[in-house]
Copies of this chain bind each other. A is one copy, B any other.
Amino acid sequence: MLGIETDWSETEKQLAQAAFKQAYNRETETLVSEIRDKAVAITEIQDIWMLHDFLSARRHEIDGKYEDSYSAFIFVFARLVKENWLTLEELSGLQADKRAKIAALSRM
């Protein structure tokens, strides 16, 4: 992913890592719950193939979205905020310029 190189203080790095994990946990826990609901409704093989297609797409999306690098974090967090896996308030410990970029990108 295109990266924005910025300096991250140790405090910011800890906050960013925690927020990243928090969002990942929220999204994957939601997926677990969603799959369990879908699985209950499976009655025939076409349901299985649809479940497989759904999982392939979600896995691809999640693998691509959670890029664990500081150069990508501004974009990653903007997307996670946009998709409601994180709030801007949870990133309030970041420096103002980073928060401004994340907020602006999250509205695009």
Contact residues of A with B, CB < 8 Å?
Answer: 28-29, 31-32, 35-36, 38-40, 42-45, 47-49, 51-52, 55-56, 59
Contact = CB atoms under 8 A, between A and B. Distances in A.
- How often does this chain occur in the complex, in copies? 2
A36 B35 contact: no
Nearest to A46: B28
Nearest to A28: B45
Contacts of A52: 52, 55-56, 59
Contact of A45 (B31, B48, B56): B31
A35 B42 contact: yes
Contacts of A32: 42-45, 47-48
8 contacts: A28-B44, A32-B43, A32-B44, A32-B47, A35-B48, A35-B51, A52-B59, A56-B56
Contact of A39 (B31, B36, B43): B36
Contact of A48 (B31, B40, B43): B31
